[in-house]
Structure 1
């Protein structure tokens, strides 16, 4: 398969601190953020979506971030990042239609180590990280902990012109600042020489009293031409808290490994005075802006895989299950009709899923290997919700005018995989694969649907055909990867306007994506590394129409939204060690993101843009000082553009030029 792997050294030297930094660096990868990291869209090869079920799965230390609200984790003390391109059927299952982003953080070992990193930059950036790892009992019990505190101001200034507000005190207020606190702790126990247990807790709190959660500028012209100006009638606030608990057990037998991954995740969210337009607040039962009940996800995976590399037969098989209690933020809120008068929308989901999967590889000869695999998923979903006008909160009193409704549905999916690999030489191979991915179906949490309109909607599917070539040569100084692909995307889920003020998600049609990806790493001389990544993508919707205000809007033939025609990345990194053991680092990156539409109607266009990042510094021997820039040329581009311009051209400008200094100490 096509995989982009980024090492710990590369993560540090390129100052990769958020998943958004992967845009352009990974071929055909695009990240768009609706104001906050936990409400974002990831696209690989044009396959993406903006809903509670992502189309690109994200894993951190083998734990699946099942819901889109679980995104936005800080990146610190990272061991490596791997991006798997295209549908990942057998091993990853649901919501991996476009691909998978897997992040591994550094775990403790027998060596005692620690680090402190202090960072300051423009927009009053403060980013402080620290970590410590040590053996508690040598060769037996190990402990590791790291944490982060980050705070920065927003780059936009508010202007009430054109809004309903007359409060001139809001003029000039900063918008977009945020504070993040993150912690990550490991306890690893080598019970025997064959059996180990690793417990991990990750927790993060995101807070802002100048929020851009779900907030945007009026249109792309305003965002691109006046990126530092936003027009809000109120300045909102939000708070998100997420905690992941996991226990991983591994047993190493003579010819196979047994692995168990147990995880529990809790997410809570509150928001107030969010100008969408219209004013929105979180609401559960008794107070405007109160914290929603926590979303909870419990998951369990068992896996067995062969380890005898001498055997012609290799295999992996497993079982996976999850249970989720969800409170989707866009349907758990209070809409402000007038002061002290709110329409209340509530939605609680109970979801569960189960899967069995397996994959077998057989080495036919020294040069030829074939692989076959399959996964079968069953998913059950239940939603309890109210409709428009069914509940109100007036003068501090909650009134249920009509009872809540409960609807349920179940889905299943079969995801096969087939591959053939031919070793052209010791350092080169060619492969051809077929994989099928799917994104879970769901329930429209909307009451009073017209006759004939389904309360539920079916899964999406994608079929990926890929041919690739991988090689290393010139004494491992050059690594070269090439992949070509065709993806047929079936039964896309999108909102239709089925009645006045009534929108439901339906399976509206199909699409395709095809293209080519090239990656290369070159070490021409000692200390110098050159990285290249280039992709061409041709993606379009096939025949279908959307329903808007009683009319059919033809979409077939339009270019796939958020699918740049090209992405190009190149970086040069040079390190020098002087006779005094001083290490000098010089790194520069260039990213070119080809033009693309953000909306399904192809009317909101983001022109081609370039981003230049740099990092320079010195270290001796365990201390360092580094100067860095992000978006050095101050390119104006969209961090987010409306996915559907039928209801407005809401957009949000990306961060302008950033610069800062980092001090590090390691032992």
Structure 2
């Protein structure tokens, strides 16, 4: 510690100038797969800069909830975020909101990386983005860009210490290996904490977890026109108690962060993403190719609790070695863009993928199985499924400048997809080395899907810093085949159709007072047909999807950023969503139920985030500055089941940060959910509830060069 304090003093009193912000960032985004100014594109986009990622203290993609209007990311507790934008929500393993990291589509809920590591910028496109992004971008796109190496030697090191044993250490380094030719970038994060929940069964932390992630770049400049970038990302996540669920809303709130489960285990979750990008810059057009490989192996060392109670009723087994429960995806995209030197600016390309998803999972009925409705005990139903998928798409979009004020927008994409699945169900008594009979014979099925995704729009430049646009776009979420369940009333390999949306949007982007005030407004109206409705099948803990209804979603959004006085930053985002099923017929307990008029799940009717940050110099030359920041987050009423029985009333969350900043270092103290508000973050339709994170606090020491 004697060495620690002089080190801090040296860093904080360095001659570097800690600049006070006196104008809003002029943000360049790649939302339309080419570099453009944020305020000049006819798309509703929220851009979170690298500085804002640090200011909001964003460690995970779920924490951008309400930072972006009408975005909510539910946290089931197992690391797979369920994201909703404008009432379009993920209800199956095919997400409704697509996530891209450095151009690579995070294909499904298993393969995506939620940890935010060395971020340059986060772009969130709201509304269907089918033309350029294709399948599963019905709600929008989260486009994450990490920092890449250049000719400058840059780097950082960061340590975070907090309550609940929080420890998060991050480091990054970027440098030229050969100037103007070969560059290296490396960054990594270790993140760990004790459990928020206590398991009364053994009086131990239930969800103690830690992870190690890395991001590695090698960039080679061939010549003035060609470059290549190799990128590898990985995450190794370990969670001692992934399903932090309590039966019943009242029980969850009366005994917060307590549960009682007899089956305890460690979740092992390993994800690898690798990509090779080749880029060409030409006079007439630019070209890029990206080849990507993703894999995720996720399993539980021992059985996990399927009844979320202390009885030996039902448990789930999926530890069957490296050949099972390992998703693998290969993607390839070729893209051409205009050089932006003419009145017609365009983007065109192709995209293909190949998916391999072998799943083996057993539902085990123990000594107390009769309490769960099973006439027998001490046996397992082993479900084996081998799924394969292939898809190809062609797309194009362009903007034509009619004159100084008017632009026309048009785009079209065609997607074709083929899915095949083979299933086998076996009955395995305890003590038997092999299954004794098949309750579901080995059988297979396949299904083909295709879709056209058009886009039309008009952009009007009302003034130099005021733009209006109106667009129509169509969204598309892929269809599929149902999984195998132990319940004989749920037949496997049932093909459900794609889900489609039609979206109309009116937007206005405005900058005032010499770029010290930015106000963006959007209105939207969307209809979703052949809505894919999930049904959780117990005790297998799998989701069966059916096309069961029509959804209507409409609302408004406002984004405001201002610098009213020197040193004071104000950011306010608010969104309103009314998402309601116009038709919805589902089966509950063997009976047909009409749920027309019910609200969409995982969709707050309002999201709001107000952030105030004040930074003031404390030395004459401004080498040291004090910073204080407060955030008020409001989430409106929302539901977690189709019947709208599981309801979370509106609630507020308060976050704060304060400390000392220089150009090369900062020491900040932070707190999240100050006041320790209890609220539902996720719930299953049968009543199992997961609470949002409790009050947390700690400090950050960050050094950069």
Query: Is the alpha carbon distance of 1:451 and 1:244 closer, same or farther for their aligned partners in structure 2, counting shifts above 3 Å?
Result: closer
User: CA shift at 1:91, angstroms?
Assistant: 0.5
Q: Which of the numbers 475, 478, 483 marks the counterpart of 1:440?
A: 478
Aligned twin of 1:294? 326
Give me the whole-angstrom Cα distance separating, in 2, the residues matched to 1:500 and 1:585: 51
Q: Which of the numbers 487, 491, 511 marks the counterpart of 2:526?
A: 487
Whether 1:640 aligns to 2:669 is no
Deviations 1:426-472 (A, max 9, x none): 10111000111111100113379779997211110111100110010
Give me the whole-angstrom Cα distance separating, in 1, the residues matched to 2:443 and 2:53: 48
Give me the whole-angstrom Cα distance separating, in 2, the residues matched to 1:298 and 1:427: 42
Give me the whole-angstrom Cα distance separating, in 2, the residues matched to 1:510 and 1:614: 41
Matches within 5 A, 1:375-524: 375-387=413-425, 390-392=426-428, 394-395=430-431, 397-399=433-435, 401-402=437-438, 403-446=441-484, 455-495=494-534, 504-524=544-564
Question: Secondary structure at 2:110's aligned position in 1?
Answer: helix
Question: Secondary structure at 1:221's aligned position in 2?
Answer: helix
Give me the whole-angstrom Cα distance separating, in 2, the residues matched to 1:125 and 1:601: 38
Q: Which of the numbers 27, 47, 58 marks the counterpart of 2:99?
A: 58
Aligned twin of 1:308? 340
Question: Secondary structure at 1:386's aligned position in 2?
Answer: strand
Whether 1:280 aligns to 2:315 is yes
Work out whether residues 364 and 378 of structure 2, in 8 Å CA contact, stay in contact via their aligned partners in 1: no
Give me the whole-angstrom Cα distance separating, in 2, the residues matched to 1:382 and 1:91: 26
Whether 1:657 aligns to 2:692 is no
Q: Which stretches in structure 2 are left out of the alignment for 5+ residues?
A: 1-42, 308-312, 368-376
Deviations 1:564-615 (A, max 9, x none): 1111111011122332601222111110000111111011100111111111
Matches within 5 A, 1:208-607: 208=239, 210-213=240-243, 215-271=244-300, 272-277=302-307, 278-283=313-318, 285=320, 292-309=324-341, 311-327=342-358, 332-338=361-367, 341-387=379-425, 390-392=426-428, 394-395=430-431, 397-399=433-435, 401-402=437-438, 403-446=441-484, 455-495=494-534, 504-577=544-617, 578-579=619-620, 581-607=623-649
Give me the whole-angstrom Cα distance separating, in 2, the residues matched to 1:36 and 1:263: 25
Aligned twin of 2:185? 144
Give me the whole-angstrom Cα distance separating, in 1, the residues matched to 2:324 and 2:535: 28
Q: What RMSD in Å do the two structures reach over aligned CA positions?
A: 2.2
Aligned twin of 1:623? 665
Whether 1:206 aligns to 2:237 is yes
Aligned twin of 2:200? 159
Query: Is the alpha carbon distance of 1:498 and 1:611 closer, same or farther for their aligned partners in structure 2, counting shifts above 3 Å?
Result: closer
Q: Please give the TM-score of this superposition, normalised by the length of structure 2.
A: 0.88
Q: Which stretches in structure 1 are left out of the alignment for 5+ residues?
A: 161-169
Work out whether residues 283 and 344 of structure 1, in 8 Å CA contact, stay in contact via their aligned partners in 2: no
Give me the whole-angstrom Cα distance separating, in 1, the residues matched to 2:636 and 2:597: 19
Give me the whole-angstrom Cα distance separating, in 1, the residues matched to 2:117 and 2:646: 35
Q: Please give the TM-score of this superposition, normalised by the length of structure 1.
A: 0.92
User: CA shift at 1:393, angstroms?
Assistant: 6.2
Aligned twin of 1:165? none
Aligned twin of 2:212? 181
Work out whether residues 511 and 541 of structure 1, in 8 Å CA contact, stay in contact via their aligned partners in 2: yes
Question: Secondary structure at 2:251's aligned position in 1?
Answer: helix
Work out whether residues 35 and 212 of structure 1, in 8 Å CA contact, stay in contact via their aligned partners in 2: yes
Whether 1:33 aligns to 2:62 is no
Give me the whole-angstrom Cα distance separating, in 1, the residues matched to 2:343 and 2:170: 46
User: CA shift at 1:69, angstroms?
Assistant: 1.0
Work out whether residues 497 and 549 of structure 1, in 8 Å CA contact, stay in contact via their aligned partners in 2: no
Give me the whole-angstrom Cα distance separating, in 1, the residues matched to 2:455 and 2:427: 48
